[in-house]
């Protein structure tokens, strides 16, 4: 199995020691280095531990011939754009199990027409984690409510709309809500 652990680690600006300490249970920087270089076999268990430590999916650490990774042409920072010191790639986003999407038809709040908002579904026992996040909640008769979750109390989710002029809505005892995690936006023609 060919991995891209090193590329992902470097793209996130982490050292071998950082990743080793973030593993559960922690390991050594030397072990992470051996797994990156292939001098030690990467098992599925190690792949999961390292993916968790890096905050990515296990699949993001495996180079697959049918996956089109994007080469990094430049790195942008406060001092401007410059060439990367080493060759690097970016893994395009891929949906995870349990995710749902919201497509935006017309601009509202921070969202523009054409945007896709990827959301992670969570169960009621985790709703408290979503306070002050944009969420999608199922309402009555196949309708949904989208906006900022401002309160979760006594089985009621209070959601403020994303744009000005809308009214705050309450959803009683939703089976799930989905937290907005990724925004996929086409930047268009670049001013042509």
The tens place of each residue's pLDDT in the chain, 192 residues long, gives: 578 888 888 888 889 999 999 999 999 999 999 998 888 888 888 988 999 999 888 877 876 656 566 777 888 888 888 888 877 777 667 777 778 999 998 889 999 988 999 999 998 888 988 999 999 999 888 889 999 999 999 999 999 999 888 899 999 999 899 999 989 888 875 544
The Cα-based distances of 39 to 29, 42, 51, 152 in angstroms read 14, 9, 19, 50
Predicted TM-score (pTM) of this structure:
0.60
Query: 128 burial class (0-12, 13-18, 19+ CB within 10 angstroms)?
Result: exposed
Distance, in Å, from the CA atom of 61 to the CA atom of 39, rounded to the nearest integer, reads 16
pLDDT at 191: 47
Distance, in Å, from the CA atom of 188 to the CA atom of 183, rounded to the nearest integer, reads 15
pLDDT at 130: 92
pLDDT at 56: 86
C-beta atoms surrounding 147 within 10 Å? 21
- The answer to whether the beta carbons of residues 157 and 136 sit under 8 Å apart is no
Torsion of the alpha carbons at 18, 23, 27 and 30, rounded to the nearest 10:
-50
pLDDT at 23: 93
Closest by alpha carbon to 157, among 182, 136, 143? 136
pLDDT at 78: 87
Q: Which fold has domain 99-184?
A: Umud Fragment, subunit A (2.10.109)
pLDDT at 192: 45
What is the location of CATH 1.10.260.40 in the chain?
5-90
pLDDT at 91: 67
CATH number of 5-90: 1.10.260.40
Distance, in Å, from the CA atom of 9 to the CA atom of 22, rounded to the nearest integer, reads 12
pLDDT at 61: 84
């Amino acid at each position: 199995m060919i991995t891209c652990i090193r590329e992902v680690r470097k793209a996130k600006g982490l050292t071998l020691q950082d990743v080793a300490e973030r593993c559960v249970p922690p390991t050594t920087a030397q072990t992470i280095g051996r797994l990156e270089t292939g001098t030690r076999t990467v098992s599925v268990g190690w792949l999961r531990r390292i993916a968790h430590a890096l905050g990515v999916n296990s699949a993001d650490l495996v180079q697959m011939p049918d996956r089109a990774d994007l080469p990094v042409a430049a790195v942008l920072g406060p001092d401007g754009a410059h060439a990367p010191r080493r060759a690097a790639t970016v893994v395009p986003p891929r949906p995870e199990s349990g995710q749902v999407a919201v497509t935006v038809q017309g601009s509202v709040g921070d969202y523009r027409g054409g945007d896709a908002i990827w959301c992670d579904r969570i169960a009621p026992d985790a709703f408290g984690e979503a306070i002050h996040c944009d969420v999608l909640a199922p309402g009555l008769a196949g309708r949904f409510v989208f906006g900022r979750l401002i309160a979760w109390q006594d089985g009621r989710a209070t959601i403020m709309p994303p744009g000005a002029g809308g009214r705050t809505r309450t959803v009683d005892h939703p089976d799930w809500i989905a937290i907005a995690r990724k925004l996929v936006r086409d930047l268009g023609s670049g001013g042509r």
